[in-house]
Amino acid sequence: MSICSRGGFETRPCISKAMKFVKVWIIVFTVLFACAKAPQKREPLASVVTTADLRSRLEHFKHKPLVVNFWATWCGPCTTEIPDLVKFYQTLDTARLNMIGVSADFFVVGDSAKLAAKVEDFLVQQKVGYPNFIFNDPVDSLANLFNLSGILPETIIYDSAGREVFRHQDLITLSELQTALDSLQGQGNQPQ
């Protein structure tokens, strides 16, 4: 034992089995404690997309009616209506209908990471369950892709064939959304 030096890697051979056991448990507890303290890793609620990305994402939503809400954290009526959109989404049968949000947050000048974090925080806080995309291309590209009016917020509903069946500019209410959906279902657009 006398050959044991204090500190350094050389101490390893002379640590008793008991010491080793204690050390292992210290490590285990440290790791567990660190894990408990660390923020839970999860997928971000919003992903940053280019026009091409958004186009390809839209392909995934084909063959089912789709509700698209255009919004931004800096847009007052947008943040006002989102709790209603969240409630609306909770009533939807997502096996039959999709809903997405497209954020225009990057349309104002600022640090992208900070802007994206602001969107993420808002979505978490509002418990937004539907997928969201932060648009990261020129305003014109988004406006052309969806034939947007330019007024935020704007909400569009497409039927299962991709035809626009409803469009609303500015604040939308839960009952307006419900009425729009009812008329869509009335037209027999819900897939079997």
Contacts with other proteins by CB under 8 A lie at 74-77, 107-109, 138-140, 143, 148-153, 169-171
Assigned token pair, 37: 């303290």
The DSSP annotation for 164-177 comes to: EEEEEES---HHHH
Nearest distance from C-beta of residue 161 to other proteins, angstroms: 26
Shortest approach of other proteins to residue 9 CB, angstroms?
A: 54
Structure tokens at 132: 């969201």
How far is residue 103's CA from residue 105's CA, in Å, rounded to a whole number? 5
**Parallel/antiparallel/unpaired status of strands 164-169 and 154-158:** antiparallel
Choice between 115 and 128, CB closer to other proteins: 115
CB of 141 to other proteins, least distance (A): 10
User: Shortest distance, CB of residue 110 to other proteins, whole angstroms?
Assistant: 9
Closest to other proteins by CB, 4 vs 108, is 108
Closest CA to 160 of 20, 89, 88, 61: 61
Q: How far is the CB of 144 from other proteins (least distance, A)?
A: 9
In the bound state with other proteins, the residue whose beta carbon lies nearer, of 154 and 159, is: 154
Angle, to 10 degrees, between the axis of helix 139-146 and the axis of helix 51-60? 30
Question: Cis peptide leading into 153, omega within 30 of 0?
Answer: yes
Give min distance, CB of 78 to other proteins, in A.
9
* Cα dist from 39 to 19, 35, 42, 143, whole Å: 32, 8, 9, 37
Nearest to 71 by CA among 124, 142, 159, 176: 142
Comparing CB distances to other proteins, the nearer of 47 and 79 is 79
- Closer by beta carbon to other proteins, 96 or else 118: 118
141 vs 190, beta carbon nearer other proteins: 141
